[in-house]
């Protein structure tokens, strides 16, 4: 009994003391509501379970708290003053997949410095972090088409590159290349690439580059560019009315300037920079199925040129696997696996068409759609990630 009384007296005493001080203004406190939000292109704005830290600029005192299910942290009894406020959130691959569509661990941060807390303050912190996802090869149309008289037409090939990330990506300096080697047993003496045992490098026959000084060619999340062999309407009467594509609106074309003008320069479609070329009239991808990579390098001239063993043909450009952003492999048929040119670490599989000049195209699968942004499948395996279409779908998914 005595003890209980004592406790009560003590509590009353403390309460009275606190009340006095508040009236004096000596320990006046403030409140702050911090709302933490995910980046705008995530499936939800509410960033729950985020650790928020407030450091007083006056005395270095640190306050911490964690946001609730609505992404909100309410702190009361805060000493008024100026604070540096930060939030940090680590997303597991599974959490990131729900929010961005891409299963990739992410570290997100936000900070607001010199923030004055007084009375009842509110603050919204917007998390940012490295982009989830990357550029991907979205579609490759390499098979070509047949003309009305049964002839073959291959100038309508294109490659489409897609921003499969949550942020703008600048395409300046992006290189695209086709890799050396046969696509399969095209004739009885067709051998696999002599570089097939090098699992760490790709050997490029031709390399093209998007120009730019760094930030001239932004590509929004979910947007794409089409690189045409020739940026014209291939359905025109003078070309091939049977062609499945009009590429007059392509973003880029490969123009191979030659004295004999065998490759025409479509005036409305800008030209890629030709960095290395071993082809003929134009950037013709083999209609039996190309191996393709996209990559970036600070200094293209530093890449090694390698002679093709037992051959007198032009050297190939050795591109280290680490530079490669994405790869695609198509081979002649289901039995051509031994002819793979893209190292398995970059692309474990391959696609193949029914035949040459079928107008078939290969497009990457869509995993999910977040806020209207399609997220494409990327398991580094063309067998899994691409579907064969009966006709190409440049800049489209149907
Ligand atoms: Ca061309
Ligand atoms: Ca042009």
Instruction: Write the CATH number for 103.
Output: 2.60.40.10
What's the gap in Å between 172 CA and the centre of ligand 1? 20
Cβ neighbours of 136 (radius 10 Å): 22
Inside any domain, residue 13: no
Confidence (pLDDT) at 40: 86
Q: Are residues 176 and 298 in the same domain?
A: yes
Inside any domain, residue 185: yes
Residue 94 pLDDT > 60: yes
What's the gap in Å between 249 CA and the centre of ligand 2? 11
Domain boundary among 129, 159, 185: 129
The whole-angstrom separation of Cα 380 and Cα 326 is 8
Confidence (pLDDT) at 6: 43
Confidence of residue 132 (pLDDT cuts 50, 70, 90): confident
The whole-angstrom separation of Cα 346 and Cα 321 is 7
How much of the chain exceeds pLDDT 90, in percent?
87
What's the gap in Å between 342 CA and the centre of ligand 1? 24
| Cβ–Cβ < 8 Å for 115, 85 | yes
What does each C-alpha distance from 50 to 53, 131, 217, 227, 341 come to in angstroms?
Answer: 10, 19, 35, 42, 45
What's the gap in Å between 250 CA and the centre of ligand 2? 10
The whole-angstrom separation of Cα 124 and Cα 73 is 10
Inside any domain, residue 69: yes
Q: Are residues 38 and 174 in the same domain?
A: no
Confidence (pLDDT) at 16: 39
Q: Tokens 């930030």 identify what position?
A: 215
* Nearest ligand atom owner, CA of 265: 2
Domain boundary among 129, 156, 190: 129
Confidence (pLDDT) at 10: 43
What's the gap in Å between 290 CA and the centre of ligand 2? 23
What's the gap in Å between 271 CA and the centre of ligand 2? 5
Non-local CB neighbours of 13 within 8 Å, separated by 6+ positions: none
DSSP state letter for 303: S
Inside any domain, residue 4: no
Q: Are residues 102 and 183 in the same domain?
A: no
| Cβ–Cβ < 8 Å for 45, 54 | no
What's the gap in Å between 72 CA and the centre of ligand 1? 55
**Could you give the number of structural domains in the chain?**
2
DSSP state letter for 233: B
Confidence (pLDDT) at 26: 60
Average pLDDT over residues 99-114: 91
Confidence (pLDDT) at 158: 98
Confidence (pLDDT) at 171: 98
Average pLDDT over residues 256-261: 91
Confidence (pLDDT) at 7: 43
Strand intervals (E) in 58-186: 62-66, 72-78, 81-91, 106-117, 120-126, 128-129, 135-141, 145-146, 152-153, 158-163, 169-170, 175-179
Q: pLDDT averaged over the chain?
A: 92
Sheet holding 224-228, edge to edge: 252-253, 224-228, 158-163, 135-141, 361-364, 386-389
Confidence of residue 129 (pLDDT cuts 50, 70, 90): confident
Q: Are residues 109 and 234 in the same domain?
A: no
Domain boundary among 129, 159, 189: 129
Strand pairing report for 169-170 and 218-219:
antiparallel
* Nearest ligand atom owner, CA of 255: 1
What's the gap in Å between 169 CA and the centre of ligand 2? 23
What's the gap in Å between 280 CA and the centre of ligand 1? 11
Q: Are residues 182 and 105 in the same domain?
A: no
Q: Are residues 197 and 242 in the same domain?
A: yes
Strand pairing report for 51-56 and 81-91:
antiparallel
Q: Are residues 148 and 284 in the same domain?
A: yes
* Nearest ligand atom owner, CA of 229: 1
pLDDT digits (tens, 9 = 90+) for 136-176: 999 999 999 999 999 999 999 999 999 999 999 999 999 99
DSSP state letter for 181: S
* Nearest ligand atom owner, CA of 252: 2
Q: Quick one: which of 251, 271, 323 has its CA closest to 294?
A: 323
Q: Which residues surround ligand 1, an ion (CB under 5 A)?
A: 230, 254, 263, 282
Q: Quick one: which of 63, 109, 133 has its CA closest to 378?
A: 133
Inside any domain, residue 19: no
In terms of residue numbers, what domain contains 33?
A: 28-129
What's the gap in Å between 255 CA and the centre of ligand 2? 6
Average pLDDT over residues 221-243: 98
Confidence (pLDDT) at 24: 53
Inside any domain, residue 396: no
Average pLDDT over residues 17-37: 71
Residue 319 pLDDT > 50: yes
Q: Are residues 313 and 170 in the same domain?
A: yes
Confidence (pLDDT) at 140: 98
How much of the chain exceeds pLDDT 70, in percent?
93
What's the gap in Å between 146 CA and the centre of ligand 1? 19
Inside any domain, residue 18: no
Confidence of residue 4 (pLDDT cuts 50, 70, 90): very low
What's the gap in Å between 25 CA and the centre of ligand 2? 74
Q: Are residues 185 and 121 in the same domain?
A: no
Q: Are residues 154 and 112 in the same domain?
A: no
Non-local CB neighbours of 178 within 8 Å, separated by 6+ positions: 204, 205, 206, 283, 285, 286, 290, 291, 292
Output 111 or 209, whichever has higher pLDDT: 209
Q: Tokens 């320990």 identify what position?
A: 27
Q: Are residues 125 and 209 in the same domain?
A: no
Residue 398 pLDDT > 80: yes
Q: Are residues 125 and 192 in the same domain?
A: no
Inside any domain, residue 218: yes
């Amino acid at each position: 009994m005595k003890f209980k009384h004592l406790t009560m007296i003590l509590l009353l005493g403390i309460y009275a003391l606190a009340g006095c001080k508040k009236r004096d203004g000596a320990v006046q406190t403030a409140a702050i509501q911090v709302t933490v939000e995910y980046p705008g292109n995530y499936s939800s704005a509410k960033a729950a379970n985020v650790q928020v830290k407030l450091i007083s600029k006056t005395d270095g005192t640190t306050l911490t708290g964690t946001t609730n299910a609505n992404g909100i942290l309410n702190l009361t009894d805060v000493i008024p003053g100026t604070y540096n406020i930060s939030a940090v959130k680590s997303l597991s691959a599974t959490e990131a997949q729900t929010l961005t569509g891409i299963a990739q661990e992410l570290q997100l941060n936000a900070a607001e410095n010199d923030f004055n807390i007084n009375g009842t303050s509110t603050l919204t912190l917007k998390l940012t972090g490295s982009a989830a996802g990357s550029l991907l090869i979205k579609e490759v149309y390499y098979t070509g088409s047949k003309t009305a008289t049964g002839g073959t037409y291959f100038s309508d090939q294109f490659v489409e590159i897609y921003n499969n990330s949550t942020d703008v990506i600048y395409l300046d300096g992006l290189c695209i290349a086709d890799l050396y080697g046969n696509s399969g047993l095209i004739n009885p003496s067709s051998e696999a690439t002599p570089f097939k045992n090098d699992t760490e490098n790709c050997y490029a026959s031709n390399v093209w580059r998007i120009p730019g000084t760094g930030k001239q060619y932004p590509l929004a999340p979910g947007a794409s560019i089409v690189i045409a062999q020739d940026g014209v309407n291939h359905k025109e009467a003078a070309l091939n009315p049977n062609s499945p594509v009009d590429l007059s609106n392509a973003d880029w074309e490969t123009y191979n300037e030659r004295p004999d003008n065998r490759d025409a320069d479509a005036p409305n479609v800008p030209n890629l920079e030709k960095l290395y070329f071993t082809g003929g009239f134009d950037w013709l991808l083999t209609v039996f199925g190309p191996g393709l990579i996209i990559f970036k390098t600070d200094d293209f001239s530093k890449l090694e040129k390698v002679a093709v063993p037992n051959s007198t043909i032009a050297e190939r450009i050795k591109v280290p696997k680490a530079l490669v952003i994405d790869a695609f492999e198509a081979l002649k048929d289901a039995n051509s696996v031994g002819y793979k040119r893209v190292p398995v670490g970059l692309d474990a599989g391959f696609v193949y068409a029914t035949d040459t000049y079928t107008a078939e195209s290969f497009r990457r699968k869509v995993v999910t759609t977040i806020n209207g942004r399609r997220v494409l499948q990327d398991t580094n395996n063309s067998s899994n990630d691409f579907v064969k279409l009966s006709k190409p779908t440049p800049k489209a998914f149907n």
